[in-house]
Amino acid sequence: MVTLRKMTEKEFRAFKKYSVADYAEDLIKGQSMSREQALMDAEKEFDRGLPDGLGTADNFLMNIENANGKNVGWIWFQYDINGDSNTKQVFLADLLIFESERRQGYASAALNEMNTCARAGRLLKQRALRVGAQSRRDEPLRKMRV
């Protein structure tokens, strides 16, 4: 079992620092960019996806906490309503389970909790980082209908 808890500003800064560095590594490998250019591009992309940080509309930046309340990772997702079919959708932008906490079912549990929150309408009103094709974490983008 996991709980999703909204990030604090301090936690968001740590998440941003990690995400920008990780995406820059993808850019270096995938596009043969210099480290300096990759870091600039990654930060620019991150800021474009979350122009208001934690307050960016329709985005959910959450800590994943285990049953003991320990933070075991991060999840970032976007909530949207498809105008054509009026279907609620959740788009996963990023999911990270910390290295020491992997292989314990936390990623699956976090995705289930995200889906449960979306179905129950418990999403807090808070857009999305483009995930590179060569993600080091091998975490797939997922689109779930709710």
Q: 86 is written with which tokens?
A: 């009026």
Among 91, 87, 80, residue whose Cα is nearest residue 131 = 91
Per-residue confidence (pLDDT) for residue 142, from 0 to 100 = 37
Q: What is the pTM of this model?
A: 0.76
Structural domains present in the chain: 3-145 (3.40.630.30)
Find out whether 106 and 2 touch, Cβ atoms under 8 Å: yes
Of 17-31, 63-77, 106-120, 122-136, give the lowest mean pLDDT range.
122-136
- Residue 135 pLDDT more than 70? no
Dihedral of the CA atoms 21, 23, 101, 93 (nearest 10)? Answer: 130
